[in-house]
Structure 1
Amino acid sequence: MASPLNILVLGATGYLGGTIVDRLLAHPQVSRFKITAFARSSEKAKKIEAAGIGLKATSGSLTEAAAKSDVVFNLASSDDLPFIQAILDGAERHFVATSVPLVLVQTSGSAILADTAMGEYASDKVYDDSDSAYLDAIPERLWHRHVDIPIARAHNKGYLKAYVTAPPLVWGSATGKLVDAGLQNPIQTSLLVIGRMAITRGQFGRVGPQKNMWSTIEVHDLADLHVEIFNKAVLEGKDIAGGSAYYFSANGDVVFADWLSLVAKALHKYGALKSADMTPFTDEEIQKWPILLAVFSVNSRCSDSRSRSLGWKPRPDKTEKEFLESIEESVKVMVNQPADFGASWGSFRPA
């Protein structure tokens, strides 16, 4: 009997991570897999295994866990360099022991395409994931690049095979076994972040007129892209682009003012804010929350010919129209969650 394929998932109970885990658990070849979630604590690992959904869990040394794996899906952090270095150290150990490169499916983000719009304008510039000359030249100072570049170097050294996705604005309610078990927050991360800021300041904020635009992708379509990369690179042994290559995903573009105004109205409707009015973030608030400059006030528009060349494509009924229509229900769920749900998210009820 062939040895199982050891798959380690980092961020397995996160918004996207749990959705990918659900896809792997339902994979036609799941009998070949040993899927393990890496948890930050032994207590969290015990909770994951106790859910009884067929997912193993471990904690402790990330380097050791990676060294024992054949494939790593990283959905836990796209910006924590020491965290990434632990994976790379594990990949080196794995290669020394097996002479086989560890496969890493890494989630970065399309914030690598960010401009300096400060919410003042929409850009007509759309970047394709096949434009390697442009993407390779993106400076290390931009979000995610200080992590993506070392991953590409490790890939080029031969002890790692890395495949990096860079999703835009991800939306939709996550579903699956981890959501049903109460281990995964089904609400999109961007909504949780901007909602927490609004509750903290007592009013919804904006950067300029929020004319900036982002491409969008529904969470289940994005999970399918990750699994398709895994299928092609690992199960089928295809020689697909890796290292410094990016895999984008896009299914429509949204103006930030359009979706943020809907979030503000829904937060007000469901009792999380006293008003749906939006006021400008102060300079002090922008300094306090760097994500406002790096993500919420910039343009980031992309196209995905490389991803689609794998045979993947997003569903035609999951575009920006459906995204905007989904916001009120997502906010309703978010506001009515228990205060301690999702670990650090806290309550969306006013103090």
Structure 2
Amino acid sequence: MSYTSAFSALVIGASGYIGGAILVELRKKYPDAVITALVRSSANNDALRGAGANTIVHADTKDHAAVKDLVSNVDVVFNTADADNFELTKAVIDGLTERTKATGRRAILIHTSGAAELWDDGEGYANPTARVRSDAVEDDIASIPASALHRNVDDLVFEADRAGHLSGYIVAPSVVWGAGSGPIHRTTFINGLYVSLAQAFKRAVVIGDGSNIMATVHVDDVVSLHLLLLERGLSEKDLQASPFAKFYIASTYDQPTKDVIQVVTNFFHDKGLYPSAQLESLSLAEAVKLHPWAFVIAKNTPMKAERARAVGWKPLHVESVVPHIAEGLEPAFVQAQKQV
């Protein structure tokens, strides 16, 4: 039994940065789809309905029984809530497994992971000898260490797909930037981190010499990849494919981190948070003493995002993030000021 345009879908994290944008574009592309939004609060109900949600369910993602029950009644799940939430992902998979058994066709999971599982052990320096993994090479994905960030959760999706319990796609975005098109204005994680680092460092800091490579992608292109994979899932093109052939890196531009950090530094210097815009080099150990998440800006991401382009992904934003940094930082800075 194949899918029709009136399939049912659940967006977990529909009030978020990526999930909200997926909701908007999903409704545009599939006007007959029955879409449910899973969120914790009723505060944004009107906005979610306006964006295309037929039904809004309020539940804590820690209520795994409720999540499983909800998921078991839909054909498609977009899980954008938390790339590291093992129990949530297990509940989603259990629910979709029941859906597959009930309908006789494989339910579809499109899981938002992250390219952090492809990081090297960089400490602020380029690593020209690092193994470069391509998502078009199955062994490159299969051999990612079990200890890598997000990997234990991704393995759940791989195993469920291999067993035929669902058709599981994984999207691993690099650093995401840009103004999301979701119904509730959100800023990307990296902007909030830059503000938090600025508050902790209190001066212009680069880890190492900043030559490590930061891979980036625009949020609109992340969303378009999710929708492309939904199209593949609905058409059942990949039922015989290896689970590792359904792992997609979303990345469009590689940038030396120092280029980004200098613009970030100029922004905070202009705001009066830094006494100077002259970068001071710290070791990774020194930086993480000031902020435990400082390691994020010290890594390289040695990877090639090839599979998506091979199946028709056409990202529109393939430029450097550098000219756009200030516009993204401003709302995160304003929000942080409100919380002081």
Residue by residue over 1:47-100, the C-alpha shift from the partner in whole angstroms, topping out at 9 and shown as x without a partner, is: 555x53332311232111211111001111111111111111212222333333
Name the SS of the counterpart of 2:243 in structure 1. Answer: coil
Match of 2:193 in 1: 193
Gaps of 5+ in 2: 60-65
- By how many angstroms is 1:306 displaced? 1.4
Gaps of 5+ in 1: 340-346
Match of 1:344 in 2: none
Is the Cα–Cα contact under 8 Å of residues 272 and 350 in structure 1 kept in the other structure? Answer: no
Label 1:65 to 1:5 Cα distance change in 2 as closer, same or farther (>3 A): same
- By how many angstroms is 1:173 displaced? 1.8
**Aligned positions of 1:1-351 closer than 5 A:** 4-27=6-29, 29-31=30-32, 33-41=33-41, 43-44=42-43, 46=45, 48-49=47-48, 52-55=50-53, 56-60=55-59, 61-123=66-128, 126-176=132-182, 178=183, 183-185=184-186, 187-234=187-234, 236-239=235-238, 241=241, 243-245=243-245, 246-279=247-280, 280=282, 283=285, 286=288, 290-293=292-295, 295-315=296-316, 318-321=317-320, 323-336=321-334, 339=335, 347-348=336-337, 351=340
Inter-partner Cα distance in structure 2 for 1:52 and 1:227: 20
Is the Cα–Cα contact under 8 Å of residues 204 and 278 in structure 1 kept in the other structure? Answer: yes
Is the Cα–Cα contact under 8 Å of residues 78 and 111 in structure 2 kept in the other structure? Answer: yes
Name the SS of the counterpart of 1:221 in structure 2. Answer: helix
Label 1:14 to 1:277 Cα distance change in 2 as closer, same or farther (>3 A): farther
> Percent identical across equivalent pairs?
27
Inter-partner Cα distance in structure 2 for 1:281 and 1:298: 13
Match of 2:63 in 1: none
Is the Cα–Cα contact under 8 Å of residues 13 and 38 in structure 2 kept in the other structure? Answer: yes
Q: Pairwise CA RMSD of aligned residues?
A: 2.6
TM-score calculated relative to the size of structure 2:
0.86
Inter-partner Cα distance in structure 1 for 2:289 and 2:72: 39
Name the SS of the counterpart of 1:248 in structure 2. Answer: strand
Residue by residue over 1:185-242, the C-alpha shift from the partner in whole angstroms, topping out at 9 and shown as x without a partner, is: 1x322121222222244335432222110222111112111101111221x3322746
Inter-partner Cα distance in structure 1 for 2:339 and 2:11: 35
Match of 1:343 in 2: none
Q: Identify the range of structure 1 (140-149 vs 110-119) with the bigger mean alpha-carbon deviation.
A: 110-119
Inter-partner Cα distance in structure 1 for 2:192 and 2:127: 24
- By how many angstroms is 1:252 displaced? 2.0
Is the Cα–Cα contact under 8 Å of residues 222 and 249 in structure 1 kept in the other structure? Answer: yes
TM-score calculated relative to the size of structure 1:
0.84
> Which residue identity does 1:88 align to in structure 2?
I
Is the Cα–Cα contact under 8 Å of residues 267 and 331 in structure 1 kept in the other structure? Answer: no
Is the Cα–Cα contact under 8 Å of residues 247 and 304 in structure 1 kept in the other structure? Answer: yes
Inter-partner Cα distance in structure 1 for 2:28 and 2:119: 35
Is the Cα–Cα contact under 8 Å of residues 45 and 57 in structure 1 kept in the other structure? Answer: no
